């Protein structure tokens, strides 16, 4: 997908404030049986076509509104992913501004997961 220059500049300006991991780390933790909160922030139609195993849906359009109901503890580690890792950076930064202390964006997102050949749920 071709992104606009201003959008890419926003991502780069925000990236420094957000912790990131990658899809391989997430898969490794799943294989180990590690418990963590994985949140898909893509559009509902994207979620319906497939998502990472064990993920929960809280789309970017509603995450700020619904996060406290679902995760009231500000110390809960939250791993956010989107299609490629850009929207999750923005959402992670917003949650950080809301007081969440352990919000991590998954670099590569759903496309990176698929490219690695990892399984998806639908």
Q: Identify whether 59 is a catalytic site residue.
A: no
Measure the CA–CA gap between 79 and 40, rounded to whole angstroms. Answer: 9
Q: Report H helices in 1-122.
A: 5-15, 23-32, 44-49, 63-70, 86-97, 109-115
Measure the CA–CA gap between 35 and 6, rounded to whole angstroms. Answer: 37
Query: Contact, 42 vs 120, CB < 8 A?
Result: no
Choose, from 18, 67, 82, 95, the residue flagged as catalytic. 82
Active site residues: 82
């Amino acid at each position: 997908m071709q992104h606009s220059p201003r959008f890419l500049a926003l991502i780069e300006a925000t990236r420094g404030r957000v912790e990131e991991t990658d899809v391989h780390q997430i898969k490794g933790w799943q294989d180990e049986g590690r418990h963590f909160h994985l949140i898909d922030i893509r559009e509902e139609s994207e979620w319906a076509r497939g998502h990472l195993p064990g993920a929960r849906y809280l789309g970017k359009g509603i995450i700020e509104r619904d996060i406290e109901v679902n995760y009231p503890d500000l110390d809960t580690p939250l791993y956010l992913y989107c299609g490629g890792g850009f929207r999750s950076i923005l959402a992670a930064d917003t949650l950080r501004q809301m007081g969440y202390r352990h919000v991590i964006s998954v670099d590569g997102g759903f496309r990176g997961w698929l490219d690695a050949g990892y399984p998806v749920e639908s």
